[in-house]
């Protein structure tokens, strides 16, 4: 089974363009934020608050 | 009587859940910084050993972080279920501190943990390192707010009591930077770094006992020794400063820590003994006369309050506070000894050449956690009978719930924790037992099956 946690790019891996890297950075950061917020709101709804 | 039982059970539940919880943040605070250092060293030196260490310890970090979050959520629920009077009275002061913790620390960690775990190839090394550093900073910001809230409960400042009995903040700077906060934050942060260094050092020593040439474990053990050789003596200094703060702001706690039964000048320094709360004396005590006051940072003719200065019903559980403090200090001294020994080993033939040192490091691996829990027992049991020192008594802070309800939730927590955290701990221990894997290189000509087209290819063309 492949590792879920991603390692660094190998020396011969193609380097993504900077807009692509920046887009992934923003996407993953906002994804993490959204996931946390979704769990928080779900818990609040479950508690009927 | 039922209310008393509910109080005892609610306290037991909080003690049980927080003792579990504190294990994880005290590990992840240090581990996040260790990962940032490993990644930074890999970026600057390009030595594979740092990359492999990062990839190994980030798995342990991810599991510990997850378990820390889950056990932390339980803590905040209990404030509502079992401690609703405390919440009602103190929410206008304590609530914003917890909210700031979520907004400034938890969201920072949660946002950038995703990049740390799943985004190295997608965002590139620079932005990935930024994410690791942000997660490390997030763990420290989290400690900032939580210790601020707890310190405010130890020495409340910047508040007023409203006619309905609830508290309101009158000076937020005084609330956040309350008198005990700065030293206690430094004490906790150093404790977290020490705990991590001992765990990393112990796990590396365990691998080196099997294979003393394992490069990642050799490097990690040296890094751990460097950390606890410097931080353990520093912790002694900060811990002493923390004790002086207790002397000034919580004299009842100090009296319990040192088993001062009598208010007097020139207190003796009790080393060991069996404190007896009912008899108000310490059985079989070994004490050094004449040094108690100087150790507390006051002259010998200064009068230090003993437990007799307070009504007996206000005394905390003296033997527990007394012994928890001695366990913490004893382990701290053992950490200083291990650091000096490790530094000496590094200077001689290397720590991996000394099996006794490796075995001692393995033995000391969990002792940072034990010291942290002992320290928190001193802080929290020593604060009794107050939940907010001098303002709100613990017995007045509990929810108006029955003992049956509290015991049912306590039982549920015990069963769930036993399953969830045993599984998590077992997985981490299995990872640690395996140790870090060296970077898999492309197979060389000798490794390939003979007689195949691949075997004939020169090394640089092989996949």
Q: Are B372 and B191 in contact (CB under 8 A)?
A: yes
pLDDT of residue B335: 95
Question: Between B463 and B132, whose confidence is greater?
Answer: B132
Question: Between B71 and B197, whose confidence is greater?
Answer: B197
pLDDT of residue B456: 53
pTM: 0.87
pLDDT of residue A19: 86
Average confidence (pLDDT) over B84-101: 92
CA distance B128 to chain A (A): 8
Q: Rounded to whole angstroms, how far apart are CA atoms B31 and B26? A: 9
Instruction: Work out the burial of residue B421: count CB atoms within 10 Å of its CB; fewer than 13 is exposed, 13-18 middle, 19 or more buried.
Output: middle
Q: Does B34 touch chain A (CB under 8 A)?
A: no
Q: Does B122 touch chain A (CB under 8 A)?
A: yes
Looking at residue B316, the DSSP 8-state letter turns out to be: -
Q: Is the peptide bond before B385 cis (omega within 30 degrees of 0)?
A: yes
Q: Does B125 touch chain A (CB under 8 A)?
A: yes
Confidence at B85, pLDDT banded by 50, 70, 90: very high
pLDDT of residue B461: 42
Query: What tens digit of pLDDT does each residue of B29-42 get?
Result: 999 999 999 999 99
Q: Rounded to whole angstroms, how far apart are CA atoms B171 and B160? A: 9
Query: Which of B55, B58, B119 is opposite residue A24, by nearest beta carbon?
Result: B119
With a cut of 70, say whether residue B450 has pLDDT above it.
no
pLDDT of residue B453: 52
User: Among A36-40, B275-279, B406-410, B453-457, where is mean pLDDT lowest?
Assistant: B453-457
Q: Are B360 and B338 in contact (CB under 8 A)?
A: yes
pLDDT of residue B341: 95
Confidence at B443, pLDDT banded by 50, 70, 90: very low
Question: Between B436 and B158, whose confidence is greater?
Answer: B158
Q: Rounded to whole angstroms, how far apart are CA atoms B406 and B78? A: 10
Q: Are B380 and B269 in contact (CB under 8 A)?
A: no
Q: Which of B91, B24, B7 is nearest to B420 (CA)?
A: B24
pLDDT of residue B441: 46
Query: What tens digit of pLDDT does each residue of B209-244 get?
Result: 998 889 999 999 999 999 989 999 999 999 999 999
Question: Between B451 and B387, whose confidence is greater?
Answer: B387
pLDDT of residue A49: 63
Q: Are B370 and B195 in contact (CB under 8 A)?
A: no
CA distance B93 to chain A (A): 21
CA distance B392 to chain A (A): 27
How many Å separate Cα A43 from the centre of its chain? Answer: 21
- Global ipTM: 0.75
CA distance A1 to chain B (A): 15
- Could A8 and B122 be called an inter-chain contact, meaning their C-beta atoms sit closer than 8 Å? no
Q: Rounded to whole angstroms, how far apart are CA atoms B387 and B380? A: 9
Of chain B, the percentage scoring pLDDT greater than 90 comes to 66
Question: Between A32 and B24, whose confidence is greater?
Answer: B24
- Could A6 and B120 be called an inter-chain contact, meaning their C-beta atoms sit closer than 8 Å? yes
User: Among B154-168, B278-292, B396-410, where is mean pLDDT lowest?
Assistant: B396-410
Query: What tens digit of pLDDT does each residue of B391-435 get?
Result: 999 999 988 888 888 888 888 888 888 888 888 889 999 988 888
With a cut of 80, say whether residue B457 has pLDDT above it.
no
Confidence at B455, pLDDT banded by 50, 70, 90: low
With a cut of 80, say whether residue B460 has pLDDT above it.
no
Contacts of A6 in chain B (CB under 8 A): 117-122
Best of A3, A4, A6 to substitute, by most chain B Cβ atoms within 10 angstroms, is: A6
Looking at residue A7, the DSSP 8-state letter turns out to be: -
- Could B121 and A7 be called an inter-chain contact, meaning their C-beta atoms sit closer than 8 Å? yes
Query: What tens digit of pLDDT does each residue of B166-211 get?
Result: 999 999 999 999 999 999 999 999 999 999 999 999 999 999 999 8
Could you give the C-alpha distances from B259 to A22, B47, B121, B253, B388, in angstroms and in order?
60, 53, 58, 10, 22
- Could B115 and A21 be called an inter-chain contact, meaning their C-beta atoms sit closer than 8 Å? no
Q: Write down the mean pLDDT value for chain B.
A: 89
pLDDT of residue A3: 67
Nearest CA in chain A to B115: A28
With a cut of 70, say whether residue B131 has pLDDT above it.
yes
Contacts of B73 in chain A (CB under 8 A): 43
Query: What tens digit of pLDDT does each residue of B297-352 get?
Result: 899 999 999 999 999 989 999 999 999 999 999 999 999 999 999 999 999 988 99
Q: Does B59 touch chain A (CB under 8 A)?
A: yes
Backbone phi, psi, residue B451, to 5°: 85, 5
Query: What tens digit of pLDDT does each residue of B250-274 get?
Result: 999 999 999 999 999 999 999 999 9
């Amino acid at each position: 089974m492949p590792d879920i946690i991603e390692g660094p790019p190998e020396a011969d891996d193609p380097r993504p363009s900077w807009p692509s890297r920046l887009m992934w950075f923003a996407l993953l950061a906002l994804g993490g934020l959204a996931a946390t917020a979704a769990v928080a709101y779900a818990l609040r709804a479950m508690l009927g608050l | 009587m039922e209310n008393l039982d509910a109080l005892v059970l609610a306290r037991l539940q909080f003690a049980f859940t927080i003792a579990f919880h504190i294990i994880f943040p005290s590990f992840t605070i240090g581990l996040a910084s260790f990962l940032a250092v490993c990644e930074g060293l890999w970026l600057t030196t390009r030595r594979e050993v740092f990359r492999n260490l990062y990839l190994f310890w980030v798995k342990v970090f991810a599991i510990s972080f997850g378990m820390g979050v889950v056990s932390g959520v339980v803590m905040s629920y209990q404030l509502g279920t079992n401690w609703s009077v405390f919440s009602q009275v103190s929410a206008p002061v304590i609530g914003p501190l917890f909210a700031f913790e979520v907004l400034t620390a938890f969201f920072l960690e949660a946002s950038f943990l995703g990049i740390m775990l799943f985004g190295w190839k997608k965002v590139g090394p620079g932005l990935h390192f930024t994410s690791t550093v942000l997660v490390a900073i997030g763990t420290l910001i989290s400690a900032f707010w939580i210790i601020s809230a707890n310190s405010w409960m130890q020495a409340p400042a910047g508040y007023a009591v409203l006619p309905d009995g609830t508290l309101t903040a009158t000076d937020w700077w005084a609330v956040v930077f309350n008198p005990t906060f700065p030293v206690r934050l430094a004490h906790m942060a150093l404790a977290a770094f020490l705990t991590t260094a001992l765990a990393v050092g112990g796990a590396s020593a365990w691998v080196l006992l099997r294979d003393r040439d394992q490069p990642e474990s050799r490097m990690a053990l040296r890094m751990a020794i460097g950390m606890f050789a410097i931080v353990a003596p520093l912790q002694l200094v900060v811990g002493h400063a923390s004790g002086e703060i207790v002397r000034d702001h919580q004299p009842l706690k100090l009296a319990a820590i040192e088993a001062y039964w009598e208010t007097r000048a020139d207190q003796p320094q009790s080393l060991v003994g069996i404190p007896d709360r009912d008899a108000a004396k310490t059985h079989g005590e070994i004490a050094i006369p004449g040094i108690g006051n100087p150790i507390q940072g006051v002259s010998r003719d200064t009068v230090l309050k003993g437990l007799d200065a307070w009504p007996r019903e206000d005394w905390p559980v003296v033997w527990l506070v007394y012994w928890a403090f001695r366990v913490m200090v004893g382990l701290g001294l053992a950490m200083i000894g291990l650091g000096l020994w490790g530094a000496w080993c590094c200077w001689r033939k290397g720590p991996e050449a000394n099996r006794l040192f490796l075995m001692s490091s393995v033995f000391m691996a969990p002792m940072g956690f034990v010291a942290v829990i002992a320290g928190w027992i001193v802080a929290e049991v020593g604060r009794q009978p107050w939940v907010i020192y001098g303002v709100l008594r613990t017995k007045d802070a509990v929810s108006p719930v029955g003992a049956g309800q509290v015991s049912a939730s306590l039982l549920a927590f015990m069963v769930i924790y036993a399953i969830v955290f045993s599984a998590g701990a077992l997985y981490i221990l299995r990872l640690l037992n395996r140790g870090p894997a060296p970077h898999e290189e492309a197979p060389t000509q000798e490794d390939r099956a003979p007689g195949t087209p691949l075997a004939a290819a020169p090394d640089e063309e092989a996949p």
